[in-house]
Amino acid sequence: MTDFVDLDDFDHRILARVRRNNLEPARMTAEAVGLSESAVLRRLRRLRAEGVIRGDVAIVDPARVEPRIVLHVQVEMMNQERPAMEAFKRALAASPEVQGAWDVTGETDFLVTVAVRSMAEYEAFCLRELTTEAKVRGFQSMIVIREVVGFDPSRAVLKR
């Protein structure tokens, strides 16, 4: 279970700005939220130290870097025994094709987002991670035709 961090309104306003542009100078953030620059910097250090801000990243448009095929894969496990589930999670985390994975409710156990350069690469991924794994009962692949709503960090959490 995640321990929630006690955040006040200033913290939420700072986070909203950082989610939109983490390169914004602290001076501008301070002016926008009504704090001093040093107070904003102190709060940002605390938010990073407490794991609220997990990292500062660049969101790269993969379609502009190299051609790729994105698939969402629903995976159903043979059973939900903890050792098998944890081993599968570790295998997913180690797989370079996996862009994200979620333990979900419903008829399937995992939803996995996979990005590959070709269907041959996807087939190799399936053989390595899904069809040779004795604990996987089955999987269903959905190929992404086009992105409709892209990742927007300012929408990544519920708004207050």
How large is the average pLDDT for residues 77-81? 85
Q: Tell me: the pLDDT tens digits for 97-128? A: 999 999 999 999 999 999 999 999 999 999 99
Q: Tell me: the pLDDT tens digits for 12-54? A: 999 999 988 889 999 999 999 999 999 999 999 999 999 999 8
Closest CA to 40 of 27, 53, 21: 27
Q: What share of the chain is helix, strand, coil (3-state, %, to 5)?
A: 40, 20, 40
Count the neighbouring beta carbons within 10 Å of the beta carbon of residue 139. Answer: 18
Give pLDDT, residue 14: 94
